[in-house]
Structure 1
Amino acid sequence: MLPQQSGNETNIKLPFAFILTSLAALILSQLILIMNGALVSEGIFRIPPIWSSVHLLLLGWALMTAMGAMYQLVPVAFLTSIWSEKFGFCQFAVTALGIGLFSAMLYYNPGKAFLPGVLALLGIVMFLVQMGMTLKKQAKPNILTLFVGSSLVCLFATIFLGIAMAWSIKTGEGSQLYSPIFKSHLLLGTAGWFTLLIFGFSYKMVPMFSLAHGFGMKLAKVVFAVYAGGLVAMLLSFWTGNKFGLGFGLTLLAAGFLLFAWHIKHIIDKRIKKKLDKPFLFALIGIGFGAIIHLAALAVFLSGHFSAAIGPLLYLYIMLWIAMSILGYLYKIVPFLWWTHKYSGEIGKRAVPSLKDMVNDKAAPPLFILLAGGALLVFASILLKSAALFYIGQTAASLALLAISITIVLVLKK
């Protein structure tokens, strides 16, 4: 169940423009990754094709999906309409073109990626302006405002640092700062932007999808303080070279994520809906994966193998925490958007399908299991340096992502 219409709904074409474009970027990112499987299985990540694949996945798919979802969810969560839909369509065009050109240049000629990167930055800044003006209209800020607002700050910093790297590659200037910039870019783009955003909207969607009531939200402030503290500690360690700061930051990140997972469990325990929808259940499983990965990162740091393990762990973080969470929620969000657009005005006039009729929930478990299994095989292939294992795992994960994407798109035919 989702909230009833509040009069703040966004033009359905805007969120779907982002979501459908993002699915094309997702498929392309997986094809590029499979084509370069032999190198990835050897632990070689910092090459143009992998840069292109990662940015198509994180910018072209995950970021564009998040933008589309926020255009619909922010009015529902904050009870205020989007600042300007016309500006939103312009922002979509600029962002899609910028990310597409930027990813293409990363693949063919990274030295020429600076100007397309600036275009992508412009599109993202336009989105930040849109969200900033929208949140400004909110009558009373809440904890969700804190998470979402902070994630948007991390998004801007991530893109700014990415442009700085592109400039360094183009001109050679600031090469001595490339390492801390690169590490900060990765941290803020994954644990900063995506994780804080998923935290924030989980606090809205988990009670919504489980019909939970009577839970407290005071712990959410602690979750934010601890996790944000971990981000700050790690950033300082990157720029100072202090290994203690790195370990302290990883400890805080793990603690913050575990507190979030415990808080979500507490909310789920207060639910009225005893049988959870299967796609939503996998979004919750993604939280479990995220907690395990945070603990694993801390463990490998304490064992002295952090540099060797962080690449494979980052892959799992993207696939099993970020991707699984986004897809699990998207499975619920898209049917509601389309049902509301097509059938909400027809209730009482004719027979209309229920929300459960909009998407096949039974198809979700095998697809999400295939995604998780494939990602774990890729993780093992990198540790074992096995190209054969990589191709099996990445093909499985890619097929799962493709099938989930098709299932979501087919909602539009209902």
Structure 2
Amino acid sequence: MSRLPFLFIITGIFGFVMYHAFSLLSLTGWLGDELRGPEGWFHAHLFVLGWATMLAMGAIYQLIHVILQSNIYSLLLGYCHYFFFTIGLTGMLYGFICGDVHWIAGSATLALIGILLFGWNMAVTLFRASQWNPVTVSAACSCLYLVLTGLSGMLMGLNFAFGQWNGLHERLFGAHIWMGTLGWFGMLITGFSYKMLPMFYLSHDYSIRLQKIVLVLWNAAIITGVIAFLTGIKDGLLWFALLLLSAAIICYVYHLEQIQEKRHKKNPGPGIRWSVYVSRAFAVYVVALLIYSAQGTDLLLHPRVVLLSGWVYLGGWVSLTILGYASKIVPFLWWTHKYGKQAGRPGVPLMAGMLSERYVQWGLIAMVGGSLLLVSGILINLAEVMMVGGTILSLISIAYIANIALVFKR
């Protein structure tokens, strides 16, 4: 097994700790400030790129091998991707802290080069394998949306620096966020779940019809939303995109139930179970948001609604799903790397003993509790509740990820 996935995973773990450490230093006070400023940009990019995207890329480099039963196109491109993306992201974060436009621009270029290398590596790998199904198509779409997110971010930077294309910045910003959140993470999580959940539940003979429906509906929601933002025609069109997304997530959650019905393993582990629970909760929130915003599209773009939805989606569904999967993926990858060739010999630990499921269970419960408290504070616009919830969430999150990181010492 290549060391490449571990570079991304370990760096992602470090980014996760740094994000929560900075949140603790401010007692989550940055949430109450304008997110379209340097501090908001710093925290958002550290969370999205330094933690979630970094770890996701590492998982992809290994899981794509499991899905396709073939190696990635180029390990060298993978290492180059890591170098450019990590250096670029570090420079961007430094630029946000200092408010230095030149640092941000130069570093963003390096990060974009890394993303383009990643996109090319995955594209060639997938096309060479030519195994097209909902899992691989979802993976291809997620990588495409990541590349488009990077390109739209670069256009925003050019627009900010040179002041060209009046009125386009806000439109690009909306499309940038929409593709980066719903496109990159949405397609990635749904697609890989079709492979991961059956593997951990030992499920067989379930229909994949809903996987194709989710793929079409989710992509339609992304494209509709991007058109709404880029054209500025948000009235009705943005709500229709949310309607498509609601249909997609309902179908997705129902399909997870189908997979569970065909399982041959009762307990896949708390991380996998919680990934299903948070998907159900996300579906409930999206439907509630759809009903609430039916009164007018402007309600969707209210700053408090945007902040709340961002936390439910990124801090809730995306982050908790990744953390749940990480409790299975990281021990599996490390055990295979270190002990795979020694399996069955005296003194070799069992894979099940690499990480305590009891700690994973209570860690996830505590993080869900902290997240609910933080979201409640945002909902009622009470800074004290946000501070307490955010502090609990950050403390528990650091303890949880430290427990996963200790796997590398076993």
TM-score of the aligned structures, taking structure 2 as reference length: 0.94
Amino acid in structure 1 at the alignment position of 2:319: A
Counting only pairs closer than 5 Å after superposition, residues 241-390 of structure 1 correspond to structure 2 as 241-304=233-296, 305-308=299-302, 309-390=305-386
* Correspondence 1:103-118 to 2 at 5 A: 103-109=93-99, 111-112=101-102, 113-118=104-109
Q: Percent identity?
A: 31
Residues in 2 aligned to 1:175 and 1:327: alpha-carbon distance in whole angstroms: 41
Whole-Å Cα distance in 1 between the matches of residues 168 and 345 of structure 2? 64
Q: Which residue of 1 aligns with 2:194?
A: 203
Equivalent in 60, 73, 88 of residue 83 of structure 1: 73
Deviation of 1:108 after TM superposition, in Å, equals: 1.8
2:133 to 135, 139, 142: 142
Q: Give 1:90's aligned amino acid.
A: C
Distance 1:298 1:37, change over 3 A: farther
Once residues 18 and 351 of structure 2 are traced to their aligned partners in structure 1, the CA distance between those partners, rounded to angstroms, is: 30
Partner AA of 2:353 in structure 1:
D
Would the aligned equivalents of 1:29 and 1:57 in 2 still touch at CA under 8 Å?
yes
Amino acid at match of 2:362: P
In 2 relative to 1, CA 44–385 (structure 1 residues): closer, same or farther, beyond 3 Å? farther
Structure 1 unmatched ranges of 5 or more = 1-9
Task: Please give the per-residue CA displacement for 1:247-272, whole angstroms capped at 9, x wherever unaligned.
Answer: 11100001011101101110111000
Rounded to whole Å, the distance in 2 between the matches of 1:331 and 1:38 is 26
Deviations, residues 96-120 of structure 1 (Å, cap 9, x unaligned)? 1111111221222152311111110
Contact 2:12/2:52, CA 8 A, preserved across alignment: yes
Deviates more, 1:215-224 or 1:365-374: 365-374
Aligned to 1:119: 110
Q: Which moved more, 1:246-255 or 1:109-118?
A: 109-118
Farther off after superposition, 284-293 or 142-151: 284-293
Give the drift of 1:303. 3.8
Amino acid across the alignment from 1:257:
I
Q: In structure 1, what is the Cα distance between the partners aligned to 2:272 and 2:404?
A: 14
Could you tell me which residue of structure 1 aligns to residue 21 of structure 2?
Answer: 31
Q: Is the 8 A contact 1:36 1:49 kept in 2?
A: no
Distance 1:43 1:254 in 2: 30
In structure 1, C-alpha distance between the alignment counterparts of 2:354 and 2:19, rounded to whole Å: 28
Letter in 2 for 1:307: L
Residues 1:186 and 2:186 aligned together? no
The CA distance in 1 between the partners of 2:338 and 2:201, in whole Å, is: 24
Task: Say if 1:351 and 1:34 are closer, same or farther in 2 by CA, change over 3 A.
Answer: closer
Change (3 A) 1:296 1:163: farther
For residues 93 and 348 of structure 2, the distance between their equivalents in structure 1, rounded to whole angstroms, comes to 42
Q: 2:120 is matched with which residue?
A: 129
Moved more, 145-154 or 373-382: 373-382
1:95 aligns with 2:85: yes
- The Cα RMSD (Å) is 1.6
**Corresponding position of 1:7:** none
Counterpart-to-counterpart distance in 1, 2:343 and 2:400: 29
Is 2:398 the partner of 1:405? no
Separation in 2, partners of 1:212, 1:376: 31
Determine helix, strand or coil for the equivalent of 1:50.
Answer: helix
Instruction: State the shift of 1:292 in Å.
Output: 2.2
| Structure 1 residue 54 displacement after superposition | 0.7
- Partner in structure 2 of residue 52 of structure 1: 42
Q: Where does the alignment leave 5 or more consecutive residues of structure 2 unmatched?
A: none
TM-score (norm 1): 0.93
In the alignment, is the contact (CA less than 8 A) between 1:98 and 1:119 conserved in 2?
yes
Conservation of the 8 A alpha-carbon contact between 1:339 and 1:355: yes
CA distance 1:287–1:25, change in 2 (3 Å): same
Native 8 Å contact 1:39 1:45 kept in 2: no
Which has the larger displacement, 193-202 or 395-404? Answer: 395-404
Structure 2 counterpart of 1:169: 160
Distance in 1, matches of 2:232 and 2:160, equals 23
Letter in 1 for 2:44: V
Q: Please, which moves more after superposition, 41-50 or 29-38?
A: 29-38
Query: How far, CA to CA, are the matches of 2:398 and 2:31 in structure 1?
Result: 22
SS for the counterpart of 2:167 is helix
Q: Is the 8 A contact 2:30 2:39 kept in 1?
A: no
Q: Is the 8 A contact 1:42 1:386 kept in 2?
A: no
Letter in 1 for 2:125: T
Q: Any idea what the Cα deviations from partners look like across 1:129-149, whole Å, max 9, x if unmatched?
A: 111121122143222111010
Render the CA deviation track for 1:301-341: whole Å, top value 9, x for unaligned: 12443223121111111011000111111110110111111
